Amino acid sequence: MTNSIREVPLSAGYFLIGTNTTDNHPVLGSMIKREVVNNGKKLIVADPRRIELAKYADYFFQIKPGTNIAIMNGFMHVLIKEGLYDKAYVEARCEGFAELAKVLEKYTPEYVAEICGLTNGEDIVKAARLMAETKPFALYYAMGITQFVSGVNGVKSTANLQMLLGNVGVAGGGVNPLRGQNNVQGACDMGGLPNVYPAYQPVTLEDNRIKFEKAWGVTGLPMTPGLTLVEMFNASLAGDVKALYVMGENPVLSDPNQHHVIEAIEALEFFVVQDIFLTETAQYADVVLPACAFLEKEGTVSNTERRVQPMHRVLSPKGEIRDDWWITTQIANRMGANWSYRKAEDIFAEIRKVTPSYAGITYARIEKELIQWPCPTEEHPGTQFLHKDRFSRGLGLMTAIDYTPPAEEVDREYPLILTTGRLLEHFHTGTMTRNSKVLDEIIPEGFVELNPYDAENYNIADGEVVSISSRRGSIRIKAKVTEKTKPNVIFIPFHFFEAAANKLTIDALDPTCKIPEYKVCSCRLEKIYS
């Protein structure tokens, strides 16, 4: 996030796209809802489903899955055509405007409405005008923007829009991605990506290689990026990856094209899983290492707003349960390393040395202060919002981006669009929440949402078990007839192994960041006759 959660009250309006905020980020979602309902703040929502916040929105765009770039291009077309964009901001702080404007010429409201499956383009014009006259306007998005083959371009489009409006580098504005799991931000900050060291320092730069070899007392660090998870599974089937070590992840349920994932795991020569439960993935492991749950461990987490927070051990681990860092250290040392960490704080001391944005953050400070990186020195207060006076690269780069369709479009054999997501009551693959009796009783099984129009066409009654098939697999699941979805679009939450949505999803990847296209594929629905 460029900005902070505590800035929600400072915003005059909010644009939510690809985020079911009240379900997936309920604390922040309730803050936005309170500002809109109680204080009259403006709200624009774009999402394939009629999410809860849609009923409070000044404008709600129920777009076809995968058309985020088109709707944002439509807003920007209006802003430029009517001269509503922040000209002074763009001229002083941005580059690439002319190229962007040229690409946007064809994205008329009518053209965009056709792409997005909207009845007309009138509200696109009205919503763009509302964004322009309401300052500051904050933009929030989640995986409904990123989980596409055009995910990187979708994120760039959010930045284009906010720069055009002059909303980046101001309190209450910004481009604000909402992370899908706790400490995803921290994992990325620490180099948990195949192409960077901690603090997003590219592995391809010689200076970075030298820096980290010196810091870690090693030689020969590679300068080529590694593989993402989907690429690892592909490499396993090709015989190029022989072993895999999975920590706190359940790819059998969370990754696309489940049959392909299981086939790849079974092709490995050695498979290790480190987790707090015997997950669907752990059941395929040669070795399972029992790790601590969050109340049993200490350390730090970095949340969606770049805030570094302390974790304290509340419960003592029982039996053979151990800290993640301890397990990893033991394995490393038995393979010839000489790691001497005694506690989590020792590791954080190293983090501060090699991660410039964390250099000024200490355990003592985060016990008393709210600190968000970048925080380069111990005298620095941390950074509430990014790009205040200038962008980190100097000028903000506007990128000319065309809408591109999803990797798989509907046809006569698979005429429906499937999109997936989460529910308020369950978290990710249900590893924890489905072990909670209370939460599992509220929603004990999966379901497929379909529009009443489709239910009538297929002669499907609410609660009836149906078959959903794609080119990758088939599941049986209960139907839930609701107007939350558009006609010809169905939604399945992915928490439930018995009716795993990811048996159906496609493993097509964004060419830049290699994220899979979880959010859209083609499928068919069939009534089951006894």
Q: What is the CATH number of the domain that holds 477?
A: 2.40.40.20
Q: What is the pLDDT of residues 68-112, one digit of tens each?
A: 999 999 999 999 999 999 999 999 999 999 999 999 999 999 999
Q: Total structural domains in the chain? A: 3
Q: CB–CB of 484/50 below 8 Å?
A: yes
Give DSSP secondary structure letters for 4-72: -GGGGGG-SEEEEES--HHHHSHHHHHHHHHHHHHH--EEEEE-SS--GGGGG-SEEE-PPTT-HHHHH
Task: For residues 427 and 363, state if they share a domain.
Answer: no
Task: For residues 343 and 259, state if they share a domain.
Answer: yes
Q: What is the CATH number of the domain that holds 337?
A: 3.40.50.740
Task: For residues 140 and 267, state if they share a domain.
Answer: no
Please give the DSSP secondary-structure letter assigned to residue 165.
T
Q: What is the pLDDT of residues 26-39, one digit of tens each?
A: 999 999 999 999 99
Q: What is the mean pLDDT of residues 256-283?
A: 96
Q: CB–CB of 44/12 below 8 Å?
A: no
Task: For residues 103 and 229, state if they share a domain.
Answer: no
**Phi, psi for residue 309 in degrees, rounded to 5:** -125, 145
Torsion of CA 64, 62, 71, 303, to 10 degrees: -100
Q: Is residue 118 part of a domain?
A: yes
**3-state SS of the chain: helix, strand, coil percent to 5?**
35, 20, 45
Q: What is the mean pLDDT of residues 336-364?
A: 95
Q: Is residue 92 part of a domain?
A: yes
Task: For residues 330 and 471, state if they share a domain.
Answer: no
Q: What is the mean pLDDT of residues 251-264?
A: 94
pLDDT attached to residue 181: 83
Task: For residues 94 and 150, state if they share a domain.
Answer: yes
Q: Is residue 349 part of a domain?
A: yes
Q: What is the mean pLDDT of residues 513-517?
A: 91
Residue 530 pLDDT exceeds 70: no
Angle CA(482)–CA(487)–CA(490) in degrees, nearest 5? 65
Q: CB–CB of 502/494 below 8 Å?
A: yes
pLDDT attached to residue 182: 83
Q: Is residue 403 part of a domain?
A: no
Task: For residues 207 and 336, state if they share a domain.
Answer: yes
Residue 82 structural domain: 5-178
- CA atoms of 247 and 328, how far apart (whole Å): 10
Q: Is residue 293 part of a domain?
A: yes
| Helices then strands, each counted (H, E), the chain | 19, 20
Q: What is the CATH number of the domain that holds 160?
A: 3.40.228.10
Task: For residues 98 and 137, state if they share a domain.
Answer: yes
Q: Is residue 411 part of a domain?
A: no
Last residue of a domain, one of 141, 157, 178: 178
Task: For residues 144 and 191, state if they share a domain.
Answer: no
Cite the DSSP H helix spans in 284-374. 324-334, 344-354, 363-368
Q: Is residue 402 part of a domain?
A: no
Angle CA(454)–CA(460)–CA(461) in degrees, nearest 5? 120
Read off the pTM: 0.94
pLDDT attached to residue 401: 97
Task: For residues 192 and 169, state if they share a domain.
Answer: no
Task: For residues 124 and 231, state if they share a domain.
Answer: no
Please give the C-alpha separations between residue 225 and each of 11, 153, 194, in angstroms, as whole numbers.
Answer: 39, 21, 5
Q: Is residue 389 part of a domain?
A: no
Q: What are 443's two structure tokens?
A: 């929603």
Q: With H, G, I as helix, E, B as strand and everything else as coil, classify residue 527.
A: strand
Task: For residues 193 and 319, state if they share a domain.
Answer: yes
Residue 220 banded pLDDT, cuts 50, 70, 90 = very high
List, in order, residues 6 or more apart from 312 with CB less than 8 Å away: 298
Last residue of a domain, one of 178, 206, 228: 178
